[in-house]
Chain A
Amino acid sequence: MSPLILKLILHSTWQTLEMVVASTALSVILGLPLALFMIATGPQGLYRLPFAARLMGMVVDAVRAVPFIILLVLLIPVTRFIAGTSLGTEAAIVPLSIAGIPYFARIAEMALREVDSGLVDAVRAMGGTRMTIIRSVLIAEALPGLVTGVTVTLITMVGASAMAGVIGAGGLGDLAIRYGYQRFNTTVMFGVVVVLIIMVSLMQVIGNSLARWLKH
């Protein structure tokens, strides 16, 4: 493998990591409150608002229903508004996050629902405020599940970022398509695949052991 190809792969790996980490971080930061909102306003929630819960659920599902490649194009005006440009690695973080927020929200919602309602009762009975219940019961008890959700979201973002080449975001997927598919450079193609396999496996292994460690 020539130094040039190596440099190309290294550069693309960095771009992919940038997109994946930034969009996953945003998905968690905004998706977790969304999940808490859906749990808390839902039936048996701490702040029952069934209509709001239903509406939020519909919005979340609507975004999730659109295939990412279409969302990417559909969101170009939004991306331009937020990022100032619709092209490049940073710009791609916008549509990736918008797809990732409802994705993580649904996973987090499932993890939060797994929390035994008896624990909520226990802390309510000892005079805990709703904030205490959200922090010390819902989030704390769901943490292993939430970590698994972050792992799944990271890996999904690796896949989605490959499509972001469409808006000139670069990254490993883009590299594999331009060199491997359009120029028949199988060395680059194989290199990219190996890097992706290593990247995804590492994420999975680290995520799993973190979740296991948190699950006392």
Chain B
Amino acid sequence: MNPILDIQHVTHTFGQHTALQDISFSVQQGEVVGLIGRSGAGKSTLLRCLCALERPQQGHILLDGVDLTTQPERQLVRIRRKIGLVFQHFNLLTSRTVAGNIALPLQIAGCPRKEQADRIAELLELVGLKGFEKKYPSQLSGGQKQRVGIARALAANPTLLLCDEATSALDPESTSSILNLLADINKKLGLTIVLITHEMDVVRRFAQRILVLDHGRLVEDGTLLDFLRDGQNNRTLQTLLADIRPSLPAFLTETLASAPQQGHNKAIIRLVLSGDNASEPLFSALHEQFNVRTALLQGGVTTVGEHLSGDMILSLEGEKTEQALSHLKTAAQNMEVLGYVPSHS
């Protein structure tokens, strides 16, 4: 299948500053892609190139086979009508009502007035804001404004939805409901979504695939599970993942030794599990097979996309600890021994 979006060797500079450097990737129809990276990494710039607001100096961006970088401005105006954009600060017109805001892309597309009203009602139903037609943006909460922003982005039936930190200005509860809404839209409409965020938690719950930008370069492309598995080898990933990964409590770090000693032989490990592994009765298995006492110190099992995933820090103690560890090494997706602490702690 041809990708809906194909980015080939895109480079973009602002004066002396290189904001994007030789970026290549492609996105399939219906995919949900999370774009992460530190502040200033070039995420927004990339997104602006994808929706043809910015023309990269080098490279090609193919949307449904059409190269955006070579189209004249007149054509770009038409192409943009097929791309929905959701902003961090909503960017709703204060001079228009909710209905008026959602109507704008329809008016631009030349949709007849009668159909506009039906479409607006349908969209408000979809985003859960039925009956809000006549309200002004100033009368809405942040979460409600973002729902209007999403309805507006979807109004003209886009083939691609781009979100630039769509949840960064919202509280955790609104963030959840907006993410659920986006996931819902992705399922119901099969819409392709590219979402920028610097909250790893958003990516964890939502994105099927993650792209990591760093200093204008695409440094990673994979699933969160891939990253959890190989995270410790990559500094960029490590700092980004720090937010969502369990970390060792301070009181244990103090007594942590790299090798077991007499009376200092309780193993502290980091364990990554996925899929079926994550729901197995791990602790009792370790006890039955190796007579090892296991305690959960940090982390647990959560949902990543549609699968279960475990990311936890455990302590293991018993005669056959080393056997248990080598068993886990092969059975788990990733196992890392962080060190050993005194057995009484």
B340 in contact (CB, < 8 A): no
A119 in contact (CB, < 8 A): yes
A210 in contact (CB, < 8 A): no
Identify B87's interface contact among A122, A127, A129, A214, CB under 8 A: A122
B193 in contact (CB, < 8 A): no
Q: Which residue of B lies closest to A126 (CB)?
A: B105
Q: Given A123-B104, A127-B105, A141–B91 Cβ distance below 8 Å? A: no
**Taking the nearest CB of chain B, how far is it from the CB of A56, in angstroms?**
24
Q: Is the beta-carbon distance between B108 and A132 smaller than 8 angstroms?
A: yes
Q: Given A140-B93, A141-B94, A141-B95, A127–B80 Cβ distance below 8 Å? A: yes
A160 in contact (CB, < 8 A): no
B77 in contact (CB, < 8 A): yes
A7 in contact (CB, < 8 A): no
Q: Is the beta-carbon distance between B104 and A119 smaller than 8 angstroms?
A: no
Q: 1/0 per residue B103-143: CB within 8 Å of A? A: 01100110000000000000000000000000011110000
B89 in contact (CB, < 8 A): yes
Q: Which residues of A contact B89 (CB under 8 A)?
A: 118
Q: 1/0 per residue A97-125: CB within 8 Å of B? A: 00000000000000000001011011111
Count residues on chain A whose CB falls below 8 Å from chain B CBs.
Answer: 21
A91 in contact (CB, < 8 A): no
Q: Is the beta-carbon distance between A121 and B53 smaller than 8 angstroms?
A: yes
A143 in contact (CB, < 8 A): yes
**Taking the nearest CB of chain B, how far is it from the CB of A93, in angstroms?**
32
Q: Is the beta-carbon distance between A116 and B91 smaller than 8 angstroms?
A: yes
> What is the CA–CA distance of A121 and B138 in the complex, to the nearest angstrom?
20
> What is the CA–CA distance of A116 and B95 in the complex, to the nearest angstrom?
12
Q: Is the beta-carbon distance between B95 and A140 smaller than 8 angstroms?
A: yes
Q: Is the beta-carbon distance between A137 and B93 smaller than 8 angstroms?
A: yes
Q: Which residue of B lies closest to A144 (CB)?
A: B95
Q: Which residues of B contact A129 (CB under 8 A)?
A: 77, 108
**Taking the nearest CB of chain B, how far is it from the CB of A142, in angstroms?**
9
Q: Which residues of A contact B138 (CB under 8 A)?
A: 216
Q: Given A126-B105, A132-B108, A143–B95 Cβ distance below 8 Å? A: yes
Identify A136's interface contact among B51, B79, B93, CB under 8 A: B93
Q: Is the beta-carbon distance between A124 and B109 smaller than 8 angstroms?
A: no
> What is the CA–CA distance of A140 and B91 in the complex, to the nearest angstrom?
14
Select the residue from A116, A123, A126, A140 with max chain B CB neighbours within 10 A.
A126
Q: Given A127-B77, A127-B80, A127-B105, A122–B95 Cβ distance below 8 Å? A: no
Q: Which residues of B contact A125 (CB under 8 A)?
A: 51, 53, 80, 83, 85
Q: Which residues of B contact A118 (CB under 8 A)?
A: 87, 89, 91
Q: Is the beta-carbon distance between B93 and A127 smaller than 8 angstroms?
A: no
Q: Which residues of B contact A136 (CB under 8 A)?
A: 93, 104
Select the residue from A121, A123, A125, A216 with max chain B CB neighbours within 10 A.
A125
Q: Is the beta-carbon distance between B94 and A127 smaller than 8 angstroms?
A: no
Q: Is the beta-carbon distance between A127 and B136 smaller than 8 angstroms?
A: no
B156 in contact (CB, < 8 A): yes
Q: 1/0 per residue A167-183: CB within 8 Å of B? A: 00000000000000000
> What is the CA–CA distance of A119 and B109 in the complex, to the nearest angstrom?
18
A128 in contact (CB, < 8 A): yes
Q: Is the beta-carbon distance between A127 and B78 smaller than 8 angstroms?
A: yes
Q: 1/0 per residue B14-54: CB within 8 Å of A? A: 00000000000000000000000000000000000001010
Q: Which residue of A lies closest to B101 (CB)?
A: A122
Select the residue from B77, B153, B156 with max chain A CB neighbours within 10 A.
B77
> What is the CA–CA distance of A201 and B86 in the complex, to the nearest angstrom?
44
> What is the CA–CA distance of A127 and B78 in the complex, to the nearest angstrom?
6
Identify B91's interface contact among A121, A128, A132, A214, CB under 8 A: A121
B96 in contact (CB, < 8 A): yes
**Taking the nearest CB of chain A, how far is it from the CB of B50, in angstroms?**
10
B215 in contact (CB, < 8 A): no
Q: Which 3 A-B pairs have the closest CB atoms?
A: A127-B81, A216-B136, A122-B91
Given A116-B91, A122-B93, A127-B82, 11 other A-B residues pairs in contact with their CB atoms under 8 A: A119-B91, A121-B91, A123-B108, A125-B51, A126-B104, A126-B153, A129-B77, A137-B93, A141-B95, A143-B95, A216-B95
- Could you jot down 21 A-B contacts, CB within 8 Å? A118-B87, A119-B93, A121-B91, A122-B85, A122-B91, A124-B80, A125-B80, A126-B81, A126-B84, A126-B104, A126-B105, A127-B77, A127-B79, A127-B82, A128-B108, A129-B108, A137-B93, A140-B95, A215-B94, A216-B94, A216-B139
Q: Mark B residues whose CB is within 8 Å of A.
A: 51, 53, 77-85, 87, 89, 91-96, 104-105, 108-109, 136-139, 152-153, 156
